[in-house]
Amino acid sequence: MLAVVSFCALVAVIIGIHEGGHLLAARWLKVNPEQFAIGMGPVLWQRYDSRGMAVQIRLLPVGGFVDIPPEVMRAIPPLARAFLYLAGPAANLITGAALMFALGVAHGHGAGETIRLVGGVTVDLFSGMFEAIGSIVSSAHASDLGGPVTVANFAADAVRQAADTGSASPILILLGIVSISIGAINLLPIPILDGGQICACLVERFTGPFHPRVERALNAIGLVLVGGIMLAAICSDIARLL
């Protein structure tokens, strides 16, 4: 139960940061989204803000969205749209980096407080964090992928460490590295991810809008790629449990 609750809380915060970046960019561009949702599926809680936007918490902690009507999105110039897509990953990257920097300064560049991350890497509060991220990325293969079960276990371990030490640092470290990971993954040039949408906007800036058939094909390819990655992560989780 602790793993489930910790996972849902961690994911909700990460999604909130990501979608919050998109929302702030939309508001900066004078665009008023219709919905701001954390989670997918059935709506568990909903309130309307002063501009009539529905703020929602949904049942499944597998994503979120800022809903802007298609006709409004099409009216936004390509480069401004690219900025809108970039804002979500940027929010994750900036938040993660700020958390790790603040913790490193507070504890003095590696005060010996550690947390065990994906692949069994133990990371120092500050100086070893980016080296650990590099080692995880450089050595990653299918068996290293962590799905929801793996992330939930890490989240529960971080909560236990925080309770044992009386410090929130383990939770904040995990939040920081997951936030950076989500930001980086979303910048991959895969259709349906923010990175793929940014690439499409840059191409559109010089060639004009994509034909609807091409756009549908790209989105289908993106769904297959992302679905394959998610399936590999889930299979990795199952293999760890066997």
Lowest mean pLDDT: which of 69-73, 78-82, 129-133, 176-180? 129-133
**For position 132, what pLDDT does the model report?**
44
Residues 80 and 201 sit within 8 Å (Cβ to Cβ): no
Residues 6 and 152 sit within 8 Å (Cβ to Cβ): yes
| 91 CB burial (10 A radius; 0-12, 13-18, 19+) | buried
**For position 107, what pLDDT does the model report?**
63
Which amino acid does the sequence have at 36? F
Average pLDDT over residues 140-158: 70
- Taking the domains of the chain in order of start, what are their residue ranges? 78-241
Quick one: tokens of 205? 């800036």
155-166 pLDDT per residue, tens: 888 888 888 888
**For position 49, what pLDDT does the model report?**
94
Quick one: tokens of 189? 């040039």
CA distance 135 to 139: 6
What band does 113 get if pLDDT is binned at 50, 70 and 90? low
Q: Please identify which residue in the block is written with the tokens 């989500």.
A: 182
Distance of CA 74 to the CA centre of its chain: 25
What band does 136 get if pLDDT is binned at 50, 70 and 90? very low
What's the whole-number average pLDDT of the chain? 84
Tell me: pLDDT of 21 over 50. yes
Residues in the chain: 242
Higher pLDDT, 150 or 156: 156
Q: What separation in angstroms does the CA of 21 have from each of 25, 89, 90, 102, 230? A: 6, 8, 7, 20, 24
**For position 124, what pLDDT does the model report?**
54
